[in-house]
């Protein structure tokens, strides 16, 4: 494996083209791929985020409105309950995705990863904090635990485990690096308008994976094309991946169903193909049983299905806006209820989806939820400071709402590679720039929030 990595590094040095990548952006072209098409967004001033993980701080807010801070000091005073079955902790991480961080913790603690439960997913290129729960792990094993850029704090015994959606929302503290000096008066006017009128609650690019194609996989699952779903995930090339990765995926297309050959191809970059190797392991266990593979990796399968639901939501909201319709307070969750079909039916019909077959008997872990999703979001506790590099903002959003959707109402937003030449690279301490922030929130506007974080 090390020889593989050495050969690949040498190839990248001799032929840099193979290592170039163009990540999804918040451009009108990329947003349209995820169902978002609203005129006027491209005329906003250019802004760039996540030059450093320190540029994007996400602190989870508990249902009790307490903020899980990213500093090493305690977020709040711990109340002991030693008779409780579950151990909770605040997970603070830098530069790593939530699921990868949980896998690291599981490996270190020598437990199955499904014994660690989180309320939501947090950004990878960021510094983030969130509550997680552990089943059958003593408090002493977690206190002071540090693994690379991951550490745990605020460890306590609790009666119940965490569950998806078990949070109020998140506080974001973000540096947006601007191409042109930010005109404070105009910026203030636009921020106040968003605070007063809110912004459309589109699902952002993170929901759709690094290839912006998770919803396509989900649609194939919904249609019962299980092999097609796996082939889309394992073999589909993308302009958002390095040409070297695309070459590997083309070879996988040419060797489809030869799982041992495909395994050897993925082993060239095992850290990049972590999720692909998970599916491949199950395909090697039960060759060509695609339902088994999807069920064996139910957490990822559900993410793809949810991504398609998110695409349908975005497309429905886009149509309402572009038709000049007044937006309701909320939409029902995606599903087969009469209320949901009335809202999403037109888009599902245009997608060729049979609305009588929204449940998947082969995948019982995929459940159609009841409840509502907010259509308009009001940013709360907004603070900002204009700098020579751009602007630092701090604000709170409820669960299910995306900071990048809010920022896309203020900037023509970019992130990742290639980095624009106009980006100023000075690094700032965002917490120092923005000033003191609350550790506990008071009254909030956004009460009708989705259960899906």
pLDDT at residue 453 in the model: 40
CB atoms under 10 Å from CB of 390, counted, come to: 27
Cα 317 from Cα 301, distance rounded (Å): 25
Task: Please report, to the nearest 10 degrees, the dihedral formed by the alpha carbons of residues 168, 119, 156, 144 taken in order.
Answer: -110
Cα 282 from Cα 298, distance rounded (Å): 12
This prediction has a pTM of 0.86
Measure CA of the first residue to CA of the last residue in the chain; give whole Å: 37
pLDDT at residue 441 in the model: 83
Cα 223 from Cα 101, distance rounded (Å): 32
As given in the structure block, the two tokens for residue 359 are 């449940």
Residue showing tokens 């599902």: 348
pLDDT at residue 75 in the model: 93
Nearest partner of 307 among 214, 376, 407, judged by Cα: 214
pLDDT at residue 22 in the model: 66
40 conformational bin, left if phi > 0, alpha if psi -120 to 50, beta if neither = left
As given in the structure block, the two tokens for residue 27 are 């451009």
Residue showing tokens 């191809």: 265
pLDDT at residue 451 in the model: 44
Secondary structure of the chain in the HEC alphabet? CHHHHHHHHHHHHHCHHHHCCCCCCCCHHHHHHCCCCCCCHHHCCEEEECCCHHHEEEEEECCCCEECCCCCCCCCCCCCCCCCCEEEEEEEEECCCHHHHHHHHHHHHCCCHHHEEECCCCCCCCEEEEEEEEECCCHHHHCCCEECCEEEEEEEEECCCCCCCCCCEEEEEEEEEECCCCCHHHHHHHHHHHHHHCEECCCCHHHHCCCCCHHHHHHHHHCCCHHHHHHHHHHCCCCCCCHHHHHHHHHHHHCCCCHHHHHHHHCCCCCCCHHHHHHHHHHHHCCCCHHHHHHHCHHHHHHHHHHHHHHHHHHHHHHHHHCCCCCCCEEECCCCCHHHHHHHHHHHHHCCCCCCCCCCCCCCCCCCCCCEEECEECCEEEEEEECCCEEEEEEEEECCCCHHHHHCCCCEEEECCCCCCCCCCCCCCHHHHHCCCCCECCCCCCCCCCCCC
Per-run averaged pLDDT (10 residues), the chain, 453 residues: 56 58 75 89 88 97 96 89 86 94 96 93 95 95 96 95 94 97 94 95 92 97 98 95 91 97 92 92 96 96 96 97 94 95 97 95 92 95 96 96 94 89 95 92 63 42
> Residue-wise over 263-292: b if at least 16 C-beta within 10 A, else e?
bebbebbeeebebbbebbebbeeeeeebeb
- Domains of the chain by residue range: 1-33+202-374, 66-158, 169-197+380-434
Is the distance from CB of 449 to CB of 169 less than 8 angstroms?
yes
Is the distance from CB of 381 to CB of 441 less than 8 angstroms?
yes
pLDDT at residue 250 in the model: 96
As given in the structure block, the two tokens for residue 191 are 């921020």
Cα 156 from Cα 134, distance rounded (Å): 10
Fold entry, domain 66-158: Alpha-Beta Plaits (3.30.70)
């Amino acid at each position: 494996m090390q020889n593989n990595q050495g050969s690949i590094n040498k190839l990248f040095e001799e032929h840099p083209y193979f290592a170039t990548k163009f990540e999804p952006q918040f451009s009108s072209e990329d947003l349209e791929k995820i169902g978002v098409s609203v005129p006027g967004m491209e005329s906003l001033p250019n802004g760039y985020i996540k030059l450093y993980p320190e540029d994007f701080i996400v602190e989870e807010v508990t249902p009790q409105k307490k903020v899980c801070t990213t500093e090493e000091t305690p977020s709040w005073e711990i109340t002991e309950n030693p008779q409780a079955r579950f151990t909770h902790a605040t997970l603070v991480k830098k530069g790593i995705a939530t699921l990868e961080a949980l896998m690291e913790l599981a490996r270190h603690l020598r437990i199955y990863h499904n014994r660690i439960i989180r309320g939501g997913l947090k950004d990878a290129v960021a510094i983030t904090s969130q509550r997680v729960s552990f089943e059958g792990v003593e408090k002493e094993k977690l206190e002071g635990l540090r693994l690379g850029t991951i550490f745990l704090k605020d460890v306590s015994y609790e009666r119940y485990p965490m569950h998806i959606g078990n949070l109020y929302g998140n506080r974001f503290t973000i540096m947006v690096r601007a191409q042109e000096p930010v005109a404070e008066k105009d910026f203030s006017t636009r921020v106040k308008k968003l605070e007063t009128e809110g912004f459309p609650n589109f699902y952002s690019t993170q929901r759709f994976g690094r290839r912006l194609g998770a919803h396509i996989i989900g649609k194939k699952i919904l249609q019962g094309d299980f092999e097609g779903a796996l082939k889309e995930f394992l073999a589909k090339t993308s302009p958002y991946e390095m040409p070297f990765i695309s070459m590997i995926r083309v070879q996988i297309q040419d060797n489809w169903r030869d799982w041992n050959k495909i395994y050897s191809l993925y082993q060239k970059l095992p850290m990049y193909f972590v999720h692909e190797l998970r599916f491949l392991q199950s395909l090697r266990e039960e060759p060509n049983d695609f339902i088994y593979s999807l069920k064996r990796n139910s957490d990822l399968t559900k993410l793809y299905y949810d991504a398609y639901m998110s695409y349908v939501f975005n497309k429905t909201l886009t149509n309402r806006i572009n038709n000049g319709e007044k937006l309701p307070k909320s939409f029902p969750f995606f599903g087969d209820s009469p209320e949901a079909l009335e809202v999403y039916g037109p888009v599902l019909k245009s997608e060729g989806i049979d609305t009588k077959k929204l449940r998947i008997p082969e995948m019982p872990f995929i459940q159609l939820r009841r409840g509502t999703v907010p259509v308009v979001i009001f940013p709360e506790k907004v603070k900002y400071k204009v700098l020579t590099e751009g602007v630092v903002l701090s604000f709170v959003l409820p669960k299910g709402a995306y900071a990048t959707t809010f920022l896309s109402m203020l900037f023509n937003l970019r992130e990742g590679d290639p980095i624009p030449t106009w980006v100023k690279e000075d690094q700032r301490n965002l917490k120092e720039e923005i000033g003191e922030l609350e550790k506990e929130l008071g009254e909030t506007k956004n009460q009708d929030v989705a259960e899906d974080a």
